[in-house]
């Protein structure tokens, strides 16, 4: 039934697969299979543990860019399972954790008209709480190197109403981790206990499988 409906909609409103460009579906079957979650974890230099549902490459990278740059919000449903898996891994069996999204910049909100991370979190089954607020403007991180990214975001966030809460920070992608570290700093300064962070995807070569991490701890 779902497939037939998608085919009917494709005839009325032609779309191309965000992953491979094939006509007919927002995401074809093969590309959807490439988004099956495989939770990975990485520890930032600060000690913050970041769980990712998939690697930021191929279909995952293309789908996230399509959401953020083309407004293709229908792809949120396909990406949400990866975030849900990352959230479960980050929680580590803990309950009653608060999901705190990294805030969308005003410029990005004006450009897109929606908050990507919050849409992903809701579709992943959690109710995001806006405890973080921008404290000052920052430059576009995409054009900056590792050290520049960290300097760019340091002191850029503040948290409110976080005292005593156990939180998981939520974002779409982790690259250097500078933004997640800043979010963790702001939340801790406001009295929260930061359990970890969860993202849809993490850039390649910055990941270790959960199994390998467990083995390294033994």
Are residues 83 and 189 located together in one domain of the fold?
A: yes
Residues 82 and 134 in one domain: yes
Same domain, 18 and 45: no
Q: Please give the average per-residue pLDDT across 138-143, as a whole number.
A: 62
Asked if 113 and 177 sit in the same domain, the reply is yes
Of 93-97, 167-171, 209-213, the poorest mean pLDDT is in: 209-213
Q: Count of alpha carbons within 13 Å of 102, Cβ hemisphere only?
A: 24
Domain housing 19? 1-33
| Residues 190, 102 share a domain | yes
Q: Are 46 and 212 in contact (CB under 8 A)?
A: no
Tell me what pLDDT residue 148 has. Answer: 67
Q: What CA–CA distances, in Å, run from 190 to 158, 180, 184?
A: 8, 15, 10
- Is residue 165 helix, strand or coil? coil
Residues 24, 115, single domain; the answer is no
* Bridge partners, 166 (sequence order): 193
pTM of the model: 0.83
Answer yes or no: do 51 and 139 share one domain. yes
Are 131 and 121 part of one and the same domain?
yes
Give yes or no: residues 71 and 2 share one domain.
no
207 close to 42: Cβ distance less than 8 angstroms: yes
Tally the domains of the chain.
2
Does residue 118 share a domain with residue 25? no
Residues 62 and 140 in one domain: yes
Is 60 exceeded by the pLDDT of residue 3?
Answer: no
Residue 47: CATH number of its domain: 3.40.50
């Amino acid at each position: 039934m779902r497939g037939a409906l998608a085919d009917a909609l494709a005839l009325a409103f032609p779309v191309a697969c965000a992953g491979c460009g094939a006509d007919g579906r927002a995401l074809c079957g093969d590309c959807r299979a490439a988004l099956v979650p495989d939770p990975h974890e990485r520890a930032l230099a600060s000690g913050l543990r970041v769980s990712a549902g998939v690697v930021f490459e191929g279909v995952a990278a293309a789908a996230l860019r399509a959401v953020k740059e083309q407004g293709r919000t229908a792809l949120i449903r396909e990406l949400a399972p990866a975030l849900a898996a990352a959230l479960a891994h980050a929680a580590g069996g803990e309950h009653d954790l608060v999901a705190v999204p990294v805030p969308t910049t005003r410029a990005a909100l004006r450009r897109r008209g929606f908050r990507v991370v919050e849409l992903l979190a809701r579709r992943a089954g959690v109710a995001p709480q806006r405890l973080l607020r921008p404290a000052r403007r920052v430059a576009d991180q995409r054009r900056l190197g590792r050290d520049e990214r960290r300097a760019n975001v340091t002191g850029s966030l503040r948290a409110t109403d976080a005292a005593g809460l156990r939180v998981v920070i939520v974002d779409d992608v982790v690259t250097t981790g500078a933004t997640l570290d800043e979010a963790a700093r702001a939340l801790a300064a406001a009295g929260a206990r930061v359990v970890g962070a969860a993202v849809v995807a993490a850039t390649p070569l910055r990941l270790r499988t959960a199994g390998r991490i467990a083995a390294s701890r033994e």
